[in-house]
């Protein structure tokens, strides 16, 4: 039997990404990501029925398609480069001229992962394929899904889709509600803006930095980031003091090109962004680096925490390496202990020994900013309601611990002098 990639080689068209010149007119670095061909595949399914597949939408990933039987099709899903982390992403749209049932055989390039399909009629509300419709386990050559289709399109993807449009709309809403602006801090290889906003800009320059979506398929990380930030946006009694004293800068989408192209791991330049925090070969990591360093150079500025939201096969926190000289020195353990106390029936998984030899964002944070860099990973199959609950607790405990550990720089409230008091000129707080 021919290998999967050979079976569909004739039906797979792709190009190598060609980034535009830089903003200064300089020549771009050589791009390595292999782009899918954006197109429609149309097949005769008998009885006057035509079945159409396409990848003509942001976030799609479908590299090839062939008809095996009247209503049976094989779909090729391949990464943007190899070797690559086995975290496959696929997303396609299917419709038929008349209602019918079809069988789809997903031939995913790596056999190590077979994410179960999710389906949506509107691209917003998603449901996982039930056992009765799905066959496929890690190591299988193919996985199979049976679906009923109609003239209206049906989206099929390896997870809920939260893409550029959704994240940009969320950023605009949160910023507007908070009375701040969304600003571009740079542009991706493909020329897409990398957006940021800062909550509590009136607070002293005590900073918390939150970034997300370095890896395109990691939707659960975006869910966690959004719920985390939304909790910090609130000004109830639990967060009022924190909101007066700390600024939170949010960069929700570091890799917009990768998300748009439905890539598995990389930027348009074919580089894993979360391994580029030493070379800074990509404009995406350079943009975030420059923003953080500019904040650090502000008069009196202190960066206390940098959080990077991701998704993996489970909920886990990756903390600074053992012996890292980060400030505030006791934050990490106090935060972990505080979160664990709020989930007494669940063991909070964390490790300080993850990818110590790789130049990740958290390593760069510890070694360059001397502040805790923490990777917050949520499971790809963790229910979104559970992610939301955890993210809110993470935010609340973070606020409590930082407020307790970082000395306040607010000016003291004025007191009416009493008899015998020595009245001195007001102190200017830097």
- CA gap 345, 51 in Å, rounded: 49
pLDDT (0 to 100) of residue 428: 39
For the CA atoms of 13, 18, 20, 21, the dihedral, rounded to the nearest 10 degrees, stands at -170
- CA gap 374, 332 in Å, rounded: 9
Find the mean pLDDT for residues 388-412: 90
pLDDT (0 to 100) of residue 15: 58
The band of 18, judged by pLDDT with boundaries at 50, 70 and 90, is: low
Which pLDDT tens digit goes with each residue over 334-355? 999 999 999 999 999 999 989 8
Find the helix or strand (DSSP H, E) in which 320 lies: none
- CA gap 323, 184 in Å, rounded: 35
The band of 3, judged by pLDDT with boundaries at 50, 70 and 90, is: very low
Query: Taking the mean position of all CA atoms in its chain, how far away is CA 359?
Result: 18
- CA gap 196, 174 in Å, rounded: 11
Greatest CA separation found in the chain?
Answer: 100
Give percent of the chain with pLDDT exceeding 70. 88
pLDDT (0 to 100) of residue 409: 86
Contact 77, 28 (CB under 8 A): no
pLDDT (0 to 100) of residue 69: 96
Answer yes or no: CATH 2.60.40.3120 is held by domain 11-25+33-157.
yes
Architecture label for domain 164-405:
3-Layer(aba) Sandwich (3.40)
CA distance readout (Å), 16 to 13, 33, 34: 11, 6, 4
- CA gap 195, 308 in Å, rounded: 15
Read off the DSSP letter of residue 374.
Answer: E
- CA gap 401, 395 in Å, rounded: 10
Structural domain boundaries of the chain? 11-25+33-157, 164-405
pLDDT over threshold 70, residue 50 = yes
Query: Taking the mean position of all CA atoms in its chain, how far away is CA 351?
Result: 20
pLDDT (0 to 100) of residue 237: 86
Which pLDDT tens digit goes with each residue over 162-172? 999 999 999 99
Query: Taking the mean position of all CA atoms in its chain, how far away is CA 85?
Result: 16
Mean pLDDT of the chain: 90
Query: Taking the mean position of all CA atoms in its chain, how far away is CA 230?
Result: 16
Q: Can 11-25+33-157 and 164-405 be said to share one CATH topology?
A: no
Q: Which residue has the higher pLDDT, 277 or 421?
A: 277
pLDDT (0 to 100) of residue 16: 59
Which are the contacts of 115, defined by CB distance < 8 A and separation ≥ 6?
A: 88, 89, 90, 158, 159, 380
pLDDT (0 to 100) of residue 426: 40
pLDDT over threshold 80, residue 220 = yes
pLDDT over threshold 80, residue 14 = no
Find the mean pLDDT for residues 17-35: 56
Cα angle at 166 between 165 and 172, to 5 degrees? Answer: 90
Q: Residue 231 is encoded by which pair of tokens?
A: 């909790």
Find the helix or strand (DSSP H, E) in which 106 lies: strand 100-108
pLDDT (0 to 100) of residue 429: 35
């Amino acid at each position: 039997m021919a290998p999967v990639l050979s079976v569909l080689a004739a039906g797979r068209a792709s190009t190598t990404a060609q980034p535009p010149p830089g903003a200064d007119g300089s020549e771009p670095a050589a791009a390595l990501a292999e782009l899918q061909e954006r197109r429609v595949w149309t097949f005769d399914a008998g009885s006057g029925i035509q079945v159409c597949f396409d990848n003509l939408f942001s976030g799609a990933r479908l590299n090839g398609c062939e008809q095996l039987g009247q209503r049976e099709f094989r779909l090729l899903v391949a990464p943007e480069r190899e070797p690559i982390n086995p975290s496959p992403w696929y997303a396609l749209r299917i419709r038929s001229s008349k209602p019918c049932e079809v069988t789809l055989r997903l031939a995913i390039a790596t056999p190590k992962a077979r994410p179960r399909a999710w389906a949506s009629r509107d691209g917003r509300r998603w449901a996982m394929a039930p056992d009765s419709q799905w066959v496929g386990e890690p190591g299988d050559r193919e996985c199979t899904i049976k679906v009923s289709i109609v003239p209206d399109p049906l989206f099929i993807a390896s997870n809920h889709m939260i893409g550029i449009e959704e994240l940009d709309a969320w950023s605009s809403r949160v910023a507007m509600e908070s009375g701040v602006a969304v600003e571009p801090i740079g542009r991706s290889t493909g020329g897409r803006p990398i957006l940021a906003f800062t909550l509590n800009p009136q607070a002293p320059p005590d900073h918390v930095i939150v970034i997300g979506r370095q890896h395109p398929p990691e939707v659960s990380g975006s869910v966690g980031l959004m719920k985390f930030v939304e909790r910090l946006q609130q000004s109830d009694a639990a967060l009022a003091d924190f909101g007066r004293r700390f600024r939170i800068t949010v960069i929700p989408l570091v890799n917009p090109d990768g998300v748009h192209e439905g890539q598995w791991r990389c930027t348009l330049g074919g580089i894993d962004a979360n391994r580029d925090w030493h070379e800074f070969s990509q404009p995406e990591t350079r943009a975030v680096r420059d923003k953080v360093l500019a904040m650090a150079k502000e008069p009196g500025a202190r960066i206390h925490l940098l959080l990077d939201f991701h998704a993996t096969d489970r909920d886990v926190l990756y903390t600074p390496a053992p012996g890292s000289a980060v400030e505030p020195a006791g934050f990490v353990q106090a935060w972990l202990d505080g979160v664990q106390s709020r989930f007494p029936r669940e063991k909070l998984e964390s490790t300080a020994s993850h990818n110590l030899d790789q130049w990740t964002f958290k390593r760069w944070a510890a070694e360059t900013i001397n502040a805790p860099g923490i990777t917050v990973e949520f499971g790809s199959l963790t229910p979104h309601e559970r992610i939301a609950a955890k993210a809110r607790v993470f935010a609340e405990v973070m606020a409590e611990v930082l407020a307790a550990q970082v000395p306040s720089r607010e000016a003291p409230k004025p007191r009416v002098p009493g008899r015998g008091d020595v009245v001195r000129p007001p102190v200017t707080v830097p």
